[in-house]
Structure 1
Amino acid sequence: MYERIGEASLKNGASMEIGVVLCPDAEHADEIRPFLGHKGQPWQHHIEGAVAGPLDDLETRFYVGKVDGRIITNIMTVEHVGVGILGHVYTTPERRRLGACNAVMEAQMEEFRTRGARCLYLGTGFDSAAYHIYKRNGFGSVLPRSGFMSYFTEDGFEAAYFAARPCTAREVRWDDWGPVTALTGSHDGDWLRSVAWRMQGPESFEGDFLGLRQRIADGDVDAHVLVTDDGARVGVATLGRHPMWGDARLLDVLCHPNYWPDARKLVDALATDARTLTYVDSAAHAKLDALTALGFLAEVTLPARARRRLRPDWRPSDADADMFDDSAFEDTPLDVTVLAR
């Protein structure tokens, strides 16, 4: 479905129509696919699937600028329950430096706010030209000197989103893409977030989610999420072959601190008869308690295997000040304990 949401005059005098394509959309599929064909895999797999038909409850939107009826610039968002990721920002080379991308982004952000959506995440080069375009549109670095950026339409988003309430475990679906990045990008939680995905501290799961989807499809990994009744993703766990220990399985579990009491739901959903190893850093006391209660026992402790790089009490406050706030950083070694069951 296509909706016109604005228009703009480019610096060369051309008139540009601004619209949004809500997928699936057969009419625009043949133009969007080649327009973003340079993205390659794994991104192209999502683009092909989104324009052709529903991907679970994932909402994929392409915000486009058209001159003489042809797309010259694009911004994509993927969302569920108003939580999403912004990406695939691209303008044809001959139409750059004309203000096309800026105009589409202003319209896109206004449309995002108007329909009551809540937050977006993106990844770009820190302090790059693109970084400053996003910053002008309200995005800020999740941590200093980082191109991982977030935008919120409401104050106190994380406190409300992750507030304790009932949740259930289910298999990972396409519509978990944006909400799981809200979980991995949260400032609350353990430092060692995933061994399988090499994740420490607040990080984006944008690209790795597509890798996870492929590994699930290949049968290499099983994955479940904790979901509240109103759609917040508050925990995620994956189970796959351990890369070092033969027939053992590697279990990764990440929960928001308010949801470690519910970790059993994730672990039980991924039950296996094989020997299972999981990893806990020395500051992750709630995670250790939750896994110990599920029968995991400490096997070995690896001294200083992880290093906390960000103060636990640091939170973003001002987009300008946060960019270079080196007081946010620390270098604290954390022991990592291997648990087995």
Structure 2
Amino acid sequence: MYERIGEASLRNGASMEIGVVLCPDAEHAEEIRPFLGHKGQPWQQHIEGAVAGPLDDLETRFYVGKVDGRIITNIMTVEHVGVGILGHVYTAPERRRLGACTAVMEAQMAEFRTRGARCLYLGTGFDSAAYHIYKRHGFGSVIPRPGFMSYFADDGFEAAYFASRPATAREVQWGDWGPLTVLTGSHDGDWLRSVAWRMEGPESFEGDFLGLRQRVADGDVTARILVTEDGARVGVATLGRHPMWGEARLLDVLCHPNYWRDAGKLVDELPADAKTLTYVDSDSHGKLAALTDLGFAPEAALPGRVQRRLRRDWRPSSPDADMFDDSAFEDTPLDVTALAR
């Protein structure tokens, strides 16, 4: 479905129509596919699927600028329950430096807010031209210096999102894409977040989510997501072959601190047909208690194996103040315990 949401005059005098394509959309599929064909895999798999038909409950929107009826610039969002990721920002080379992308982003962010949507994440080069464009539209660094950025329509978003309430476990779906990055990008989680995905501290799960989906489809990994009644993703567990000891399994479990009580709902639904190893850093008291209750026992101690690079009490205050805030950083060695069951 296509909806016109605005128009703009470009610096060369051309008139540009601004619209949003809510997928699936057969009419625009033939133009969107080649326009973003340079993205390659795994991104192209999503683009092809989104324009062709529904992807579970994922909402894919392509915000486009058109001149003489042809797309010249694009911004994509993928969302569920008003939580999403912004990406695929691209302008045809011959149409750059005309203000096309800026005009589309102004319309896109206005439409996003009008719908009552709540937050967006993106990744870009830190301190690049694109980084400063996103800053002007309200995005800020999740941590100083990296180009992982977030936008919240409400300052109290994360507190409400992770507030304690009932949750259930289920398999991975397309709609988990954006909401899982709220979990992996939170400052309130454990430092050692995933061994399989090499994740420490607040990080984006944008690209790794597509890798997770593929590994689940290939049968290499089993995964479960912890979801509240109103759609917040508050926990995730993955189980796959251990990279060093192939006869054993590697379990990664990440829950928001308010939801370690529900870790059993994730772990109990995973296969238990082989020895399973999982890893806990020395700051992760909630995780250690939850896994101990599930029958995991310490097997090895790994002193100082990871470095906590952010102060425990640091939180972003404003995009302008925090992008170069080197006082946020510290190097604190954390011991890691290998647990087995």
Deviations, residues 77-103 of structure 1 (Å, cap 9, x unaligned): 000000000000000000000000000
Equivalent residue for 1:104? 104
Equivalent residue for 1:136? 136
Equivalent residue for 2:304? 304
SS of structure 1 residue aligned to 2:89: strand
Report matched runs for 1:14-25 at 5 Å.
14-25=14-25
SS of structure 2 residue aligned to 1:89: strand
Equivalent residue for 1:197? 197
SS of structure 2 residue aligned to 1:269: coil
Equivalent residue for 1:230? 230
Q: Which amino acid aligns with 1:294?
A: L
Equivalent residue for 1:53? 53
Q: Which amino acid aligns with 2:265?
A: K
Equivalent residue for 1:280? 280
Equivalent residue for 1:179? 179
Q: Quote the RMSD (CA, aligned, Å).
A: 0.5
Shift of 1:26: 0.2
SS of structure 2 residue aligned to 1:13: coil
Equivalent residue for 1:2? 2
Find the aligned partners of 2:321 and 2:89 in 1 and give their Cα distance. 26
Report matched runs for 1:112-191 at 5 Å.
112-191=112-191
Find the aligned partners of 1:190 and 1:66 in 2 and give their Cα distance. 45
Shift of 1:48: 0.2
Find the aligned partners of 1:221 and 1:38 in 2 and give their Cα distance. 29
Segments of structure 1 that go 5 or more residues without pairing to the other structure are none
SS of structure 1 residue aligned to 2:309: strand
Q: How many residues align?
A: 341
Q: Does 1:84 align with 2:84?
A: yes
Equivalent residue for 2:211? 211
SS of structure 1 residue aligned to 2:268: helix
Find the aligned partners of 1:92 and 1:124 in 2 and give their Cα distance. 18
Q: Which amino acid aligns with 1:277?
A: L
Q: Which runs of 4+ in 1 moved over 6 A?
A: none
Find the aligned partners of 2:153 and 2:23 in 1 and give their Cα distance. 23
Equivalent residue for 1:289? 289
Deviations, residues 113-169 of structure 1 (Å, cap 9, x unaligned): 000000000000000000000000000000001100000001111100000000000
Shift of 1:20: 0.2
Deviations, residues 164-223 of structure 1 (Å, cap 9, x unaligned): 000000001000000000000001010000000000000000000000011011000011
Find the aligned partners of 2:269 and 2:56 in 1 and give their Cα distance. 20
Shift of 1:273: 1.7
Q: Which amino acid aligns with 1:170?
A: R
Deviations, residues 270-324 of structure 1 (Å, cap 9, x unaligned): 1322100000001100100000000000000111111000111111111111010
Find the aligned partners of 1:72 and 1:304 in 2 and give their Cα distance. 51
Find the aligned partners of 1:305 and 1:67 in 2 and give their Cα distance. 55
Equivalent residue for 2:251? 251
Shift of 1:246: 2.1
Q: Which amino acid aligns with 2:128?
A: S
Find the aligned partners of 1:2 and 1:313 in 2 and give their Cα distance. 45
Given the two structures, how large is their TM-score scaled by the length of structure 1? 1.00
SS of structure 2 residue aligned to 1:172: coil
Find the aligned partners of 2:286 and 2:271 in 1 and give their Cα distance. 21
SS of structure 1 residue aligned to 2:109: helix
SS of structure 1 residue aligned to 2:75: strand
SS of structure 2 residue aligned to 1:210: helix
Q: Which amino acid aligns with 2:287?
A: K
Find the aligned partners of 1:90 and 1:270 in 2 and give their Cα distance. 40
Percent identity between matched residues is 87
Equivalent residue for 1:72? 72
Find the aligned partners of 1:254 and 1:271 in 2 and give their Cα distance. 18
Find the aligned partners of 1:10 and 1:217 in 2 and give their Cα distance. 44
Q: Which amino acid aligns with 1:111?
A: E
Q: Which amino acid aligns with 2:111?
A: E
Q: Which amino acid aligns with 2:327?
A: S
Find the aligned partners of 1:235 and 1:134 in 2 and give their Cα distance. 29
Find the aligned partners of 1:38 and 1:239 in 2 and give their Cα distance. 33
